Amino acid sequence: MISVRNLHKRFGSQVVLNGVNLEIEPGKTTAVVGPSGVGKSVLLKLIMGIMSPDEGEVIIGGYNMTAARSERSKNEIRNALGVLFQSAALFDSLSIYDNIAFSLRERMGLSASKAHTRVLSMADALSLTPYLRNFPEQVSIGIRKRVGMARALISEPKVLLVDEPNTGLDPLDGQEVYDLINACKNQWGFTGLVISHELPEVFQVSDRVAMILNGEIIVEGSPAELSNSSDPAVQQFLNGRTDGPIKIQ
Amino acid sequence: MNIFDTIERFGRFLIYATERWGRSWIFLARSLVALARPPYRPYLYFTQLSQIGANSSIVIALIAVFTGAVLAVQGEYTLSKFGANAYTGPMVALSLIRELGPVLTALMVIGRAGSAVTAELGIMRITEQIDALRSMAVDPIKYLMAPRLLAGIIAMPLLCGLFNVIGILGGYIVAVGLLGLSAGTFMSQIEAAVDLVDITSGFIKAAVFGLIFGWVSCYKGYTCGFGAQGVNKATTQSVVTASVAVLIVDYFLTSVLTRVFMQ
């Protein structure tokens, strides 16, 4: 469903991605893990097509995002995507109802009445009905993440991209987001890519895990394979040690 | 540091400045093209027209009444030295309609609404709201920039008209009410002196200043740097750049319009 091939990206003299390859099968969820600042979010932006790589390509559902030159052709590929951003990135000038309805109205051009039925149904599925009249700053970050998930899923995307699902959340809210991802996956059956630095928590939503370091994917496999990897960097990261090949920046 | 280092640094700066300048023109071109392309989303235009235009009207009216008043005091003082204080009305009206109306309106709108537009877009940039729009296949240039640009172009002449009317009223109150000029003389001299071309050139200037307002404030917000400091810097740059641009463009526009309308 998603193929990332030989992706290179640098900012000035700093190499962020140095030949990243990744394959995500339809219906499966892959987590890309690694310490902060290794280019996980850059990888996500390259997949979304809101940043251009120096080299390499991103194929989504058979369409080449990197070859799409105009914003219009990129948008056609983006129609297959739903994105849950790190801080939810809700539109703070819109109510929670309008945030959820946004892509139905603006992307799909649905009428208010058709959008209304789907918003209510999605709000009910994600227990957001009591908050629909609120604005994003009036609810907790946990609720905002749920709204972000509702906004991402309401247009029934084939691919869900999730950036750092439990940043800023306490352990209970963090677990709730993982439960939510699993529940939504069971209900809507999307292909998933989750960017995270939280191990082993992210394993519970992942079929595959890839660890990125120094611009390259150093290990890829099932969560069990990653846990049992003999790679010293993986073990250092898994065990949260400061000594080892990963240097704290 | 030798001469070659200096030349190299200057060359780098030149490339950087040219690139930024080029990007801002591409941004303007994309925004103007986006205005013409469907979907049109009229509610976004009305919202911006309200925020940039209607919400600025009180402050514009306040500035206008005192500008007209001070013009009347200064005009009457200067003209009375030549025994020509009957021309206080035309002096107030022409100064406002041809020059002060468009310029002061633009500077006030840039200070009030331009900073708000840049800060809003800057915060949307750093909180990934603009990325969210793109991820949902919604063009942020069309959704965010085009309505603000058009609202600036429409609102500025309207506010300028308001400024002129209230400014003349302020001049009338001072000249007639306090300085003892005849009301009939004040108004009839204005009627005799002000031509349609004066009003037209003032409105053309205001529309161009509206374009500068929308262009600079949106571009600075859209290309805002990281964090609170990035928003702070973008907002300051937006107000300074747009204000300076208005004053520079005003000179050239005045020269051109005066020549065109005099022919």
Helices (H), A70-229: 71-78, 96-102, 112-125, 141-153, 171-188, 223-227
- Edge-to-edge strands of the sheet including A55-60? A14-24, A2-11, A55-60, A63-64
What per-residue confidence (pLDDT) applies to A183? 85
Question: CB distance from B136 to chain A under 8 Å?
Answer: yes
Distance CA A178, CA A201 (A): 8
pLDDT tens across A104-160, in order?
Answer: 998 888 888 889 999 999 999 888 999 999 999 999 988 999 999 999 989 888 999
Q: Are A242 and A248 a contacting pair, CB within 8 Å? A: yes
Q: What's at A50, amino acid-wise?
A: I
Q: Please write down the HEC assignment for all residues of B117-132.
A: HHHHHHHHHHCCHHHH
Cβ-contact B30, B141 below 8 angstroms: yes
Q: Which amino acid is at B126?
A: I
Residue B17 or A243, more confident:
B17
Question: What confidence score (pLDDT) does residue B9 get?
Answer: 93
Q: What is the mean pLDDT of residues B106-131?
A: 95
Residue in B closest to A161 by C-alpha = B135
Q: In chain A, which residues have their Cβ closer than 8 Å to the Cβ of B127?
A: 87, 89, 92
pLDDT band at A249; cut points 50, 70, 90 = low
- Angle, in degrees to the nearest 10, between helices B146-172 and B183-193: 140
Burial class (CB in 10 A: 0-12, 13-18, 19+), A111: exposed
Q: Using CA atoms, how far apart are residues B160 and B100, in angstroms rounded to an integer?
A: 9
Say if residue A247's pLDDT is above 80.
no
Question: What would the pLDDT profile of A63-79 be if each residue is shown by its tens digit?
Answer: 999 998 888 899 999 98
Q: What is the predicted pLDDT for the residue at A230?
A: 84
CA distance B26 to chain A (A): 14
What pLDDT sits at residue A188? 82
Q: Which residue of B has its CA nearest to A104?
A: B136
Mean pLDDT of A230-234: 84
List Cα–Cα distances, B79 to B29, B67, B82, in angstroms. Answer: 47, 18, 5
Tokens of B258: 């005066």
Q: Would you list the domain boundaries of chain A?
A: 1-80+163-168+195-243
Return phi, psi of residue A160, to 5°.
Answer: -110, 125
For chain B, the average pLDDT equals: 94
Q: What is the band of B89 on the pLDDT scale with cuts at 50, 70, 90?
A: very high
**CA distance linking residue B232 with residue B209, whole number of Å:** 23
Pairing of strands A216-221, A208-213: antiparallel
**What is the predicted pLDDT for the residue at A172?**
83
The whole-angstrom distance between B109's CA and the closest CA on chain A is: 21
% of chain B residues with pLDDT over 70: 99
Report yes or no for ipTM above 0.85: yes
Distance of CA B47 to the CA centre of its chain: 19
- Please answer whether residues A153 and A82 qualify as being in contact, where contact means their C-beta atoms are separated by less than 8 angstroms: yes
Q: Which residues pair with A219 in a beta bridge?
A: A211
Any residues with CB less than 8 A from the CB of A6 and at least 6 apart, and which? A19, A20, A21, A55, A56, A57
Q: Which chain A residues are closer than 8 Å to B138 by Cβ?
A: 103, 106-107
* Residue whose pair of structure tokens reads 């942020």 in the numeric block: B140
Domain definitions of chain B by residue range: 3-262
Percentage of chain A lying above the pLDDT 70 cut: 99
The domain defined by A1-80+163-168+195-243 folds into Rossmann fold (3.40.50)
Q: What is the pLDDT of residues B181-216, one digit of tens each?
A: 999 999 999 999 999 999 999 999 999 999 999 999
Q: Does B129 touch chain A (CB under 8 A)?
A: yes
B26, B136, B231: best to mutate for the A interface, most A CBs within 10 A: B136
Do the Cβ atoms of B131 and A89 come within 8 Å?
yes
Residues paired with residue A217 on neighbouring β-strands, in sequence order: A212
Q: Which of A166, A119, A47 is nearest to B131 (CA)?
A: A47
Q: In the prediction, which pLDDT does A177 show?
A: 84
Q: Average pLDDT in the B159-168 region?
A: 97
List the single range of A30-44, A74-88, A225-239, B142-156 with lowest mean pLDDT. Answer: A225-239
pLDDT digits 0-9 by tens, A3-17: 999 999 999 888 999
Report DSSP letters for chain B, one per residue. --HHHHHHHHHHHHHHHHHHHHHHHHHHHHHHHHHHSSP--HHHHHHHIIIIIGGGHHHHHHHHHHHHHHHHHHHHHHHHTTT-GGGHHHHHHHIIIIIIHHHHHHHHHIIIIIHHHHHHHHHHHHTTHHHHHHHTT--HIIIIIHHHHHHHHHHHHHHHHHHHHHHHHHHHIIIIIIS---HHHHHHHHHHH--HHHHHHHHHHHHHHHHHHHHHHHHHHHT--SHHHHHHHHHHHHHHHHHHHHHHHHHHHHHHHHHHHH-
Residue B1 has pLDDT above 70, yes or no: no
DSSP A110: -
Whole-number pLDDT of residue A202: 87
Question: Does residue A226 surpass a pLDDT of 90?
Answer: no
Q: State the Cα–Cα distance between residues A212 and A34, nearest whole angstrom.
A: 5
